[in-house]
């Protein structure tokens, strides 16, 4: 696959402010679409490397209205279709939560509904938590294969927020190293995503002196990336580190760094004005390939 080098650094509003401020969560009530029932990632033939938890799912809601899954023993996918759309891309969404919880509305179904509004079918990945990075990677690789098997001929992308951004980056760089033994026809599909989007990602700079996290192995086959973060984000070095590494690898990457905004805003304008900026930029990026 031929990759085109590209590296964009944006540190100002570049005239998008007025347009962006017109975008808000107001679209959600009017565009809610029928999501399909959750389905399990793993069958009764769960590979020996995959250790599923016991008991039942646990959830809580924060004072700010963020719905959090605090314990998920059985990972699932949930499809949010875009009926009638001719888009050739399908996107898997990975919520964040420090690998301890899943912010399943803020960085999950709200994002899937936004993607639907842009004409893209989305899948919400509820990966195993808490504190199970290996399990999360297994879930992401299985999810990519499963979504690819259900959408032949489509480009399959993955996007994530915070820890979900870490997981998405891991899936987009570790596809040559299977994290579990194949168990069925689904696992014959490639687990390499065709593209990857990281929104305020975390944990990408865990190497010595905040260099690239060692497990993120870049190669000529690394897919294209979109990265958005703010200068005030406590994990902001993740975006710089990943962007620089991708540029050095001659991988197509579009990197945006904006002032203000902090971390964990999703699409919620009340949390940060930049919550209205990244969707516009990502929507434009998705039109370029």
State pLDDT tens for residues 154-194.
999 999 999 999 999 999 999 999 999 999 999 999 999 99
What is the predicted pLDDT for the residue at 209? Answer: 95
Mind listing the pLDDT tens digit for each residue in 75-91? 999 999 999 999 999 99
- Torsion sign, CA atoms 20, 252, 78, 204: negative
Calculate helix-pair angle for 163-173, 237-248, nearest 10 degrees. Answer: 10
In this structure, what token pair is assigned to residue 136?
């999360």
Strand partners, 61: 67
pLDDT, average across residues 196-200: 98
- CA neighbor of 275 nearest in space, from 50, 22, 97, 46: 22
| pLDDT confidence band for 277 (50 / 70 / 90) | very high
Mean of the per-residue pLDDT values of the chain = 90
The pLDDT, as a whole number, for residue 97 is: 98
The 3-class SS string of 177-236 reads CCCCCCCCHHHHCCCCCCEEEEEEECCCCCCHHHCCCCCCCCCCCCCEEEEEEECCCCCC
Confidence of residue 146 (pLDDT cuts 50, 70, 90): very high
**Average pLDDT for residues 190-209, to the nearest whole number?**
98
Q: What is the pLDDT of residues 135-144, one digit of tens each?
A: 999 999 999 9
Average pLDDT over residues 124-145: 98
124 pLDDT band, cuts 50/70/90, is very high
Looking at residue 182, what is its pLDDT? Answer: 97
Q: Looking at the predicted structure, is the pLDDT value of residue 8 above 90?
A: no
Determine the pLDDT at residue 269: 87
Averaged pLDDT for residues 21-39:
58
User: Residue 170: left if φ>0, alpha if ψ -120 to 50, beta else—which one?
Assistant: alpha
pLDDT category of residue 74 using cuts at 50, 70 and 90: very high
Q: What is the pLDDT of residue 32?
A: 52
* pLDDT of the residue at 188: 97
Question: pLDDT tier at 35 (50, 70, 90 boundaries)?
Answer: confident
Q: Which pLDDT does position 57 carry in this prediction?
A: 97
Which pLDDT band holds residue 33 (cuts at 50, 70, 90)?
Answer: low
pLDDT-derived band at 25 (thresholds 50, 70, 90) equals very low
More confident residue, 25 or 36: 36
d(Cα 132, Cα 249) in Å, to the nearest integer? 29
């Amino acid at each position: 696959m031929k990759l085109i080098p590209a590296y964009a650094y944006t540190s100002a509003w570049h005239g998008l402010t007025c347009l962006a401020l017109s975008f808000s969560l107001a679209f959600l009530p009017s565009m809610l679409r029928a999501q399909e029932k959750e389905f399990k990632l793993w069958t009764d033939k769960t590979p020996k490397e995959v250790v599923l938890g016991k008991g039942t799912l646990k959830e809580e809601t924060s004072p700010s209205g963020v719905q959090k899954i605090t314990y998920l023993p059985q990972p699932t996918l949930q499809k949010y279709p875009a009926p009638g759309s001719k888009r050739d891309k399908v996107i898997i969404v990975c919520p964040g939560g420090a690998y301890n919880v899943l912010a399943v509305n803020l960085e999950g179904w709200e994002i899937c509904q936004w993607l639907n509004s842009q004409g893209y079918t989305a899948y919400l990945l509820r990966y195993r938590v808490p504190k199970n990075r290996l399990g999360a990677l297994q879930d992401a690789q299985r999810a990519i294969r499963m979504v690819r098997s259900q959408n032949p001929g489509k480009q399959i992308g993955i996007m994530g927020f915070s820890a979900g951004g870490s997981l998405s980056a891991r899936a987009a760089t570790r596809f040559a190293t299977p994290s579990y033994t194949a168990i069925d026809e689904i696992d014959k599909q490639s687990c390499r995503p065709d593209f990857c989007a990281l929104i305020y990602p975390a944990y990408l700079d865990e190497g010595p002196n905040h260099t690239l996290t060692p497990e993120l192995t870049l190669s000529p086959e690394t897919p294209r990336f979109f990265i958005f973060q703010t200068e005030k984000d406590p994990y902001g070095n993740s975006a710089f580190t990943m962007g620089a590494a991708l540029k050095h690898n001659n991988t197509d990457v579009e990197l945006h760094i904006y002032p203000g905004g902090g971390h964990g805003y999703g699409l919620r304008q009340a949390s940060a004005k930049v919550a209205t900026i990244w969707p516009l930029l990502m929507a434009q990026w998705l039109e370029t390939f």
